[in-house]
A and B are shown apart, each in its own frame.
Chain A
Amino acid sequence: MNYFLTEEQEIIKELSAKIADEKIAPRAAEFDESEEFPWNLIRILADSDLFAVWVPEEYGGLGGGVFEQCLVVEELSRACAGVAVSYAASALGGFPILMFGTEEQKQRFMPEIASGSKLAAFALTEPDAGSDAGNIRTTATRDGEHYVLNGTKQWITNGGEADVYVVIATMDPEKGHRGMTAFIVEKGTPGFDFGKKEKKMGIRSSSTTELIFKDCKVPVENLLDKEGKGFLVAMRTLDKTRPGVAAQAVGIAQGALDKAAEYASTRVQFGKRIGEFQAIEHMLADMATQIEAARSLVYNVAWMIDSGERHITKASAMAKLFASDIAMKVTCDAVQIFGGYGYMRDYPVEKMMRDAKITQIYEGTNQIQRSIIGGAVIKEALRRK
């Protein structure tokens, strides 16, 4: 396929692929085992300007958008989705500042996010507020020149490692969505601490922790957008970053297909390479076709977002839904093609299968994506009446 990338996009893709193949892939199994945060790899990504691709030039970036971010995430995910999500989560924390921040806030935070000298993170989920994001219990109250935050956020990617956190709290739980408010909280702010680091099924090199706020005083200049706009900030952010999860899924699936195809063309059973058996050949054909379909969808949605289209919720949800479902299927099939070897941790595909699962869950479960898409379809039908 030819996606007619610009020269700069080609450079971004090639460099990401080079880093994925030469620096990340050789260490993916090691980080999966140790669950250690891959700071040295993150430094390489930063030094190569990869954190800058989606940031406008006036804030130290390269002036690209969601599409460029997706290119990087996809290539990194071929080698290790854990490293890729640590990279992508910084965009998840950075996009709301870029989209809703004041000029002063953008000048303050974006250059360091673009250079990768600081990682960012986004904190919405709580123990009782997952899909039901309106049910958050972390509170914020105004106290003079500060807001005081109390509560606990859960499963925050880059928790403990990031320096800049966009945190959604509620100023009035009675008001539901309309009470929610977004804040930029810096690591080291008194009263802001990290809870336990989670042990996960996949993406194990990434850091997932609780954020604990105990009378944490956040200066008023760190209010993001206006009081009561937190739900909007969160939803608009996720609309913009879901293609990133989708790109991650495409990358994981591509990595699994590459391994499965290589194995099928060398493994001999019954005197033939197993790739010559139609049973395997057809599996590979379906995997490759599904990946290309997902990639086309993801790229198109990313282009659409970058073109400035306002109504992106449905398309963004579709990209995330489709790509993550095929990633799960393709990685399962890759393990199947590897047979017993595929189930062994000495071979790379079982990790890809574990990694793929999270793409169906985070940034909105695929059930939530279907509700978003279905709701939009019904709404469009009603409008036509």
Chain B
Amino acid sequence: MNLAVLVKQVPETTDVRIDRKTNTLIREGVSSIVNPFDMYAVEQALRIRDEHGGRVTCISMGPPQAEAALRETLALGADEAILLSDKAFAGADTLATSYTLAKAILKLGEFDLVICGKQAIDGDTAQVGPGVAEHLDIPHVTYVSKVEEISNRHIRVRRMIEEGYDVILSSLPALITVVKEIGEPRMPSIKGTLRARKAQVITWTARDLEADELMLGLSGSPTQVARIFSPEIRPGGEIIEGNSACEKARNLITQLKASHTL
């Protein structure tokens, strides 16, 4: 079973700083970690591999220092790590990012399952996973809390919904995004860490991907960030009390009249 995991390096602190000119994150001087949700994705991939055999390839798009995040996944037991790094990728929105990642997955060759975290803790969009699936033209399931069964042709998963879960059977290849209920990520091992230090992280550039340059980076990004701001916190609503629907309606009318709204 060939498994690809998409990993993002994110700033460790939730107290991120923004460059006011470009409206992008200032990454310099902020220590970085593997996006915590992606750690669940790596864990799920390793579990499937440990049970069914195969290979786990972790892919990340980012600046050269994102290699550290990939090494962390190698220490956990991933078989291979590929960094997509090129000036041409810079400034990518979720569409361009998912296009680039999809091209990398295609370059890998045959794959059965792509696993992503449900979202990154910096951008919080949750769009890249589904975007990659669309570019690859494969089915995807988001918010997966459990992989119930996987065979060569199908995967059966639980998708978290507000109350309870859906059970979804999908053909393979497919893409899933996972939530933390999937299970606690393992700790690295000493042997894995030593292996990861020595392992080569492969870097692919835009040319390696044979990608359409117009679809990469800023030029491939229809979304442009106009402004970043903290939204105003709205006061909570009020629940109108009453013993019956009629009484509640009467109380509402009374209040609306009292406030001269009616």
Contacts and interface: CB of A to CB of B under 8 A. Distances in A.
Interface string B185-199: 011111101100100
Interface stretch (A41-49, A216-224, A242-250, A336-344): A41-49
Interface residues of B, number: 9
A15 B190 contact: yes
B190 A50 contact: yes
Contact of A18 (B187, B191, B197): B187
Nearest to A11: B193
A52 B186 contact: no
Interface string B58-100: 0000000000000000000000000000000000000000000
Interface in A1-53: 7-8, 11-12, 15, 18-19, 22-23, 44, 47-50, 52-53
A19 B191 CA distance: 15
A11, A12, A52 — most chain B CB neighbours (10 Å): A11
A306 to B, nearest CB: 17
Nearest to B190: A49
Interface string A260-302: 0000000000000000000000000000000000000000000
Contacts, number: 35
Interface residues on A, range: 10 to 19
A18 B187 CA distance: 9
A53 B194 CA distance: 13
A62 B191 CA distance: 8
Contacts of A62: 190-191
B190 A52 contact: yes
A15 B189 CA distance: 8
A52 B191 CA distance: 10
A47 B189 contact: yes
Contacts of B186: 47
B186, B189, B190 — most chain A CB neighbours (10 Å): B190
A15 B194 contact: no
A7, A12, A15, A19 — most chain B CB neighbours (10 Å): A15
B197 A48 contact: no
A49 B191 contact: yes
B194 A48 contact: no
Interface in A47-64: 47-50, 52-53, 62
Contacts of A8: 190, 194
A48 B193 CA distance: 10
A87 B253 CA distance: 70
Contacts of B194: 8, 11
A50 B194 CA distance: 13
Contact of A7 (B188, B191, B197): B197
Interface in B148-199: 186-191, 193-194, 197
B71 to A, nearest CB: 12
A12, A49, A50 — most chain B CB neighbours (10 Å): A49
Contacts of B188: 15, 18, 48
A339 to B, nearest CB: 33
A62 B195 CA distance: 13
Nearest to A50: B190
A7 B191 CA distance: 13
B191 A15 contact: no
B75 to A, nearest CB: 9
Interface string B218-234: 00000000000000000
A7 B196 CA distance: 13
B190 A53 contact: yes
Contact of B189 (A22, A23, A48): A48
Contact of B193 (A15, A19, A22, A52): A15
A68 to B, nearest CB: 9
Contacts of B197: 7, 11
A19 B190 contact: no
Contacts of A18: 187-188
B194 to A, nearest CB: 7
A12 B188 CA distance: 11
A44 B191 contact: no
A284 to B, nearest CB: 28
A62 B186 CA distance: 20
B187 A47 contact: yes
Contact of B187 (A12, A44, A52): A44
Contacts of B193: 11, 15
B186, B193, B194, B197 — most chain A CB neighbours (10 Å): B193
Interface string A150-163: 00000000000000
Listed from nearest, the 3 A-B pairs whose CB atoms lie closest are A49-B190, A49-B189, A48-B189
20 contacts: A8-B190, A11-B190, A11-B194, A11-B197, A15-B187, A15-B188, A15-B190, A18-B187, A19-B187, A22-B187, A23-B187, A47-B186, A47-B189, A48-B189, A49-B190, A49-B191, A50-B190, A52-B191, A62-B190, A62-B191
